[in-house]
Every structure is written in structure tokens, then in C-alpha cells.
């Protein structure tokens, strides 16, 4: 998967919104496949018009904070690209860092909020809230 910095750089090079949408679709195509078993109710993100799944793995070390690693999928091409963008932003971070990070600020910076339908914007917020909920659970776990 592309790093968030590489995605931002690539996105900012594209002036035309048709090109940006194509780039989002291309990002979605590069997502690591989510196993069929992970396409389940527990991983399904509620509040998305399209079907979206996010699988969370928590990595704990004896002297390190919980790190969350995410995989995701969607049945819609552009949404799959949005999943890729969100996962690139959050995956591999410590739970506390996830709670402090604001992906919606990234979406504003990239001017995505102005170019997403209200349904897709709600879905993005649902994905972010799901990830933050998993981070809160990881912090609360012993």
C-alpha cells in the first residue's frame, strides 16, 4: 500500500477532479485483498451506503504501546479508494496517536469533502469512527 505522504503528493499533482477520482479508484485496486472470512458482520462498518469492512489487528509489545494495523474492503470502486486513503492514514499507528489524528482534516486539505456526496461523507465518518472505536478498545484492554 502507498504511504499517506505519497498519496498526498500524488493527489496534489492532479488538478482535474476526474483524474482525482480515477486515482482514488486506482488506490482501491492496490488494496491488499481482504480474506473472505474477514467479510463478516463483526468487520462490517455501519453507516456506509456501500458495503465496507475493516479488520483490525492489535500488536502489543511488552514495553510498547498497542499498535493497530487495519485491512479493509468495499464493494464500490471509489469507496474502496477512500478505504485505502483512510487505512494509509491510520494503519500502523499507536492507539493514542489514532485518537489524536484527524483524517477529516486530511480530507479537507485534499478538498475531498467538497467533492464527495453526503452519503459517501457519512460513510467516511463511519469508517473513521470505527477505527477510533477500535483504538479506544485497544487502550482499554489490559
Question: pLDDT tens-digit profile of 42-55?
Answer: 999 998 889 999 99
Q: In CATH, what number is assigned to the domain containing residue 22?
A: 3.90.1010.10
The parent domain of residue 124 ranges over 4-140
pTM beyond 0.75, yes or no: yes
Is the separation of the CB atoms in 114 and 28 below 8 Å? Answer: no
Which candidate in 4, 7, 31, 48 is catalytic? Answer: 48
Structure-model confidence comparison of residues 64 and 3, the more confident one: 3
Considering its fold, how many domains does the chain have in total?
1
| 53 grid coordinates | 469492512
Question: pLDDT tens-digit profile of 55-77?
Answer: 999 999 888 889 999 999 999 99
Helix, strand, coil percentages for the chain (3-state, nearest 5): 55, 15, 25
142 has pLDDT over 80: no
**For residue 74, what are the contacts with CB-CB under 8 A and spacing of at least 6?**
28, 48, 50, 51, 52, 53, 80, 82, 83
Concerning whether 84 is annotated as a catalytic residue, the answer is no
Amino acid at each position: 500500500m502507498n504511504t499517506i505522504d505519497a498519496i498526498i503528493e500524488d493527489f496534489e499533482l492532479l488538478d482535474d477532479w476526474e483524474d482525482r477520482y480515477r486515482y482514488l479508484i486506482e488506490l482501491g485496486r492496490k488494496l491488499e485483498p481482504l480474506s473472505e472470512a474477514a467479510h463478516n458482520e463483526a468487520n462490517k462498518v455501519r453507516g456506509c451506503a456501500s458495503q465496507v469492512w475493516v479488520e483490525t489487528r492489535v500488536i502489543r509489545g511488552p514495553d510498547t504501546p498497542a499498535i493497530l494495523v487495519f485491512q479493509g474492503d468495499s464493494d464500490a470502486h471509489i469507496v474502496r479508494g477512500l478505504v485505502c486513503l483512510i487505512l494509509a492514514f491510520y494503519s500502523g499507528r499507536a492507539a493514542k496517536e489514532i485518537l489524536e489524528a484527524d483524517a477529516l482534516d486530511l480530507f479537507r486539505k485534499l478538498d475531498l469533502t467538497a467533492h464527495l456526496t453526503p452519503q459517501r461523507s457519512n460513510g467516511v465518518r463511519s469508517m473513521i469512527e470505527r477505527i477510533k472505536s477500535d483504538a479506544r478498545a485497544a487502550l482499554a484492554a489490559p
